[in-house]
């Protein structure tokens, strides 16, 4: 019985992570689009390298974007980028939460499985 109850806890946590992540990112993107229109007077999409998310690995890029916004030096484009970052971080965080959960309940099988997923995703996000 105890095992079932604690698994429910994991499911509730995952559900929370997913919903908060999606709402936060969609809200940021909506604000970013409005800000973009306000400062540019149009909503044209530009396919130039500076409009692509790139330049560093995902974690460094995310850290830089986050600190820039926190320090007040943000632009609508950075808010849009941050929205995409939050969106990409959402499933990543739910895998990390699952690793912690299976570690805490001492389920070695699923600790290894979720850790494998987390390692592959981390490695893939570190490439640039």
Q: Which residues bind other proteins (CB under 8 A)?
A: 7-8, 10-12, 14-16, 18-19, 21-22, 25-26, 29-30, 32-33, 36-37, 43-47, 49, 51-54, 57-58, 77, 80-81, 83-84, 87-88, 90-92, 94-95, 98, 109-110, 113-114, 116-117, 120-121, 124-125, 127-128
CA 121/CA 86 separation, integer angstroms? 15
98: how many CB neighbours lie within 10 A of its CB? 21
**Least spacing, CB of residue 76 vs other proteins, in Å:** 10
Token duo for residue 61? 């890029």
Minimal distance, residue 70 CB to other proteins, in Å:
19
Question: Measured from the CB of residue 73, what is the shortest distance to other proteins in angstroms?
Answer: 17
Residues 39-73 as b/e (b if ≥16 CB within 10 A, e otherwise) read eeeeeeeeeeeeeeeeeeebeebbeebeeebeeee
Measured from the CB atom, the residue of 57 and 104 that comes closer to other proteins is 57
Residue 115: name the closest of 105, 103, 128 by CA: 103
Which of 69/84 has CB closer to other proteins?
Answer: 84
Q: Of 15 and 67, which has the nearer Cβ to other proteins?
A: 15
Residue among 52 and 104 whose Cβ is closer to other proteins:
52
Cα 104 to Cα 3, 14, 52, 101, 117: the distances in Å are 12, 15, 39, 5, 18
């Amino acid at each position: 019985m105890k095992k079932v109850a604690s698994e429910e806890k994991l499911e509730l946590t995952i559900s929370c992570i997913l919903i908060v992540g999606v709402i936060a990112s969609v809200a940021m993107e909506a604000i970013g689009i409005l800000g973009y229109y306000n400062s540019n007077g149009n909503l044209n999409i530009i396919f130039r390298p500076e409009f692509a998310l790139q330049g560093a690995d995902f974690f460094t890029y995310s850290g830089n974007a986050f600190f820039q916004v926190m320090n007040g030096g943000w632009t609508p484009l950075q808010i849009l980028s941050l929205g995409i970052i939050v969106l990409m971080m959402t499933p990543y965080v739910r895998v990390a939460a699952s690793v912690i959960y299976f570690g805490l309940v001492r389920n070695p099988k699923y600790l290894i499985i979720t850790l494998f997923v987390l390692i592959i995703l981390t490695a893939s996000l570190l490439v640039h």
